[in-house]
Structure 1
Amino acid sequence: MSAACEMPVVRTLAELTDLVERHHRTYVRWSRGPETDLAGLSSTDDLTGVSMPGLSANPLDVEEWWEDRPVELWVARRLYDYSHLVHEKGPGVRPWVLTGRETGRGPDNEPLVVDVGPMCWIDHRVIDEARAAVDRQPSDWGPLRRSGG
């Protein structure tokens, strides 16, 4: 088993929030993991099959406009918004945190990241916590994969 597979596991939303507050240029990627991803270091556009110049990932860094709102809610929403990918991308897909440098944008305007440094896996319970945090908000919301009308 490689070092990437032996990454630490973040087990609570608070633990992930602490990591995001301490590190910059952090992203979450939903895939089979760094061992698979770092072999090719590119993502493929699902629609066209075109290879992209980096791994597609979702930023975890807090935007300035968020101001002094709870970082934990920011992180929860970032996870919740893409939680459908675990089911959509097939068996073995799970979220993991990485650092990196943006090299472009993918077709969904997601960052494409290079100079990837794997940090940790995200336990499924963190996703459950994120879902609960979003569900407690006064407005209706759902993951980005929403059914059309």
Structure 2
Amino acid sequence: MFSEELPTVADLDELTRFYRSDGGDDLYVRWSRGPGVDLAPELAAQASRDGLTGVELPGLSANSLRCEPWWRGRSTRLWLARRLYDYQHLRALRGPGVRPWLLRGREVARGPDNEPLVACDEPLAWVADEVLREARELVDAQGSPEWGPMDRRTAHLPE
């Protein structure tokens, strides 16, 4: 059983230090009500649900924080900001009590959006709102007119 008593990463610099000290290859961020809900002992398995069909997925839907080799030494801080920024809409979409938290895990499958489905080995920390604010500011400061969160609700397809 996992406890809700996790430390909180207070700002983007702290997240960057944490990532660098850990190595980052097995670190993920999950947007949910937390490990107390996702990893409850009464659950048969760690699982998520597909939002379109309701199908149970064989793992927790999460996003890897691993820096890809093609990033080639660019800012780790910007990489992490981008990973948080991309999915910030999930808080509003999934309702009250949803917030990001970090976990150490291993990928067990891929979800319908090609997202990693992971088995959580260890919940690590909550991510504070300040980190999300800083992530938005840093990504917005890049000035890309083509960039925005991966929020389907804002997508408009041509008719």
TM norm structure 2: 0.89
* CA drift at 1:112: 0.5
Mapping for residues 15-30 of structure 1, pairs under 5 Å? 15-23=14-22, 24-30=25-31
**Structure 1 residue matching 2:49: 3-state secondary structure:** coil
Q: Equivalents in 1 of 2:102, 2:84: separation in Å? A: 11
TM norm structure 1: 0.94
Q: Equivalents in 2 of 1:4, 1:132: separation in Å? A: 32
Q: Equivalents in 2 of 1:105, 1:22: separation in Å? A: 27
Bigger Cα Rg = 2
Deviations, residues 79-135 of structure 1 (Å, cap 9, x unaligned): 000000010000000000001010110011000001431000000110000000001
Mapping for residues 110-121 of structure 1, pairs under 5 Å? 110-121=115-126
* CA drift at 1:68: 1.0
Matched, 1:70 2:69: no
Moved segments of 4+, more than 4 Å: none
RMSD, aligned CA: 1.3
Q: Which runs of 5+ in 1 are unaligned?
A: none
Amino acid at match of 1:103: V
1:83 maps to 88
Mapping for residues 1-149 of structure 1, pairs under 5 Å? 4-23=3-22, 24-39=25-40, 40=43, 41-140=46-145, 141-145=147-151, 146-149=154-157
Amino acid at match of 1:74: W
The alignment of Structure 1 onto Structure 2 pairs a total of residues equal to: 148
The percentage of aligned residue pairs carrying the same residue is 53
Instruction: Sort the Cα spacing of 1:29 and 1:115 in 2 relative to 1 into closer, same or farther, 3 A.
Output: closer
Task: Report the more deviating stretch, 20-29 or 96-105.
Answer: 20-29
